[in-house]
Amino acid sequence: MLIMYVLACPCVRDTTLRAEGITDTGLRKACKKALRRCKEFGIDVVFLPCPETEYLGRGRKPAHFLEIYNTPEFVGIIDRLSGSVNEIIHKRGPPLCLLGVDSSPTCGVTTTYYGSLEGENPKKSGRGVLFSRFPDIPAIDLRVFARYTIYLSAPLFSHAEQEYNRSLARFLKNHFFRVYLPQEEDDTESARDMREQHALFSKNLQALKRSDIVVAVIDGADADSGTAWEMGYAYAQGKPVIAIRSDFRMAGMYEKVNLMLEQGASVVSKPEELLVHFGIADLMNNS
């Protein structure tokens, strides 16, 4: 039985492998969260070799590919290490993805500091020189992969609503997301006293604060008031809000629902579209 795994750039485990002065606290936290996600969902992490460290060692200065690495010796290192990676893939099967760090000359995902001979912006679109050797394997940026805790905001007052919420939560969990679903925290009881209401409010609020992303269900003639509050709070906190609306009714000529909710969120019509907004659609197609 093949075990799911990712091929990760080595600085996910050891940030001292990166060039001096380019690793901030946010990246260090993202490294820990990415590894925690893999552990939580039983995904093996196979660390790639670091061609930059092999070539220049630790403590090197930041540099573009054309500035420092565009040499036959470095290209030879890339050739050799690519062969080692292909051996891993041949033995284990294709990985879920390559896990890299954007802007890296070797392990960039959507951007890379490639350099320019014409005085243009040295930061180019595309993969780093090592990742570019594996164009058929999905690649995802470390910071994107680290965002996996979801607060699922939705009305929960009928059996149908609760069943839909559970179905959506299962979909997200099957795609390696940790999901907080308020109805699983006894948020369905109408006979709560004030103490219980305050405790539940505090619990949900803390879950909102800990979440990386808020997914909100906004079906109906108008969005549920509690869901609208949670969306507004998340937006004010700078958290990504993705609303799912399967209801085909329109609130106006251009609006599917309340203007403020639409402008503060990305709106999709089915669960599969959530993956595109999470930045992981290609990765999950490979799972």
For the domain covering 149-285, report its CATH number: 3.40.50.450
Answer whether 0.75 is exceeded by the pTM: yes
At residue 247 the predicted structure's pLDDT band, cuts being 50, 70 and 90, is: confident
At residue 193 the predicted structure's pLDDT band, cuts being 50, 70 and 90, is: confident
- Greater pLDDT, 170 or 279: 170
Mean pLDDT for the stretch of residues 161-187:
91
**Which tens digits make up the pLDDT trace of 54-98?**
999 998 999 899 989 999 999 999 999 999 999 999 999 999 999
162-to-153, 154, 155, 157, 280 alpha-carbon distances in Å: 11, 9, 8, 7, 26
What is the pLDDT of the chain when averaged over all its residues? Answer: 89
Residue 287: pLDDT above 70? no
Whole-angstrom distance, CA of residue 212 vs CA of residue 210: 7
Domain ranges of the chain: 5-145, 149-285
Q: Can you spell out the DSSP letters for 208-220?
A: HHH-SEEEEE--S
In this structure, of 38-52, 111-125, 209-223, 241-255, the range with the lowest mean pLDDT score is 241-255
The residue type found at 106 is: T
Whole-angstrom distance, CA of residue 144 vs CA of residue 29: 12
Give 192's contacts (C-beta < 8 A, 6+ positions apart): 200
**Which tens digits make up the pLDDT trace of 224-240?**
899 999 999 999 999 99
- Greater pLDDT, 197 or 108: 108
